[in-house]
Amino acid sequence: DAKTTQPNSMESNEEEPVHLPCNHSTISGTDYIHWYRQLPSQGPEYVIHGLTSNVNNRMASLAIAEDRKSSTLILHRATLRDAAVYYCILRDALAGGTSYGKLTFGQGTILTVHP
């Protein structure tokens, strides 16, 4: 599985934008970039995903570098509820066999939001 590298932790103030980086220098052409987050004492939840173009949804934006070797999850206005562990995951859309649909989680980035 292609690996991702994320900072262990980041801090932000409430109502400020947050940029969470992810490096994935060995990304392949069929790898999608997925972001999940895990709030305290809950299971992970899907945030956003993309392939080459920048993506926006109601939760966040995903900015993907032109060479696809890095990406950034953007929370436009952090709230206290956004404090969580954020996971950047590469998922091969065409993988078959035992890799079919597989998500491989790393350690993620712990985001702390200060009031």
Q: Which residues of 30-45 are buried (b: 16+ CB within 10 A; e: fewer)?
A: ebebbbbbbeeeeebe
CB of 20 to other proteins, least distance (A): 15
Pairing of strands 55-56, 109-114: unpaired
Q: How many residues line the site for other proteins (CB under 8 A)?
A: 28
- What mask of x and - would describe binding to other proteins in positions 17 to 56, judged by CB under 8 A? ---------------x---x----xxxxxx--x-x-----
Q: For residue 68, give the DSSP letter.
A: S
Among 87, 90, 111, 113, binds other proteins (CB under 8 A): 87
Q: Is 15 in the site for other proteins (CB under 8 A)?
A: no
Among 40, 53, 101, 115, binds other proteins (CB under 8 A): 101
CA distance 96 to 92: 9
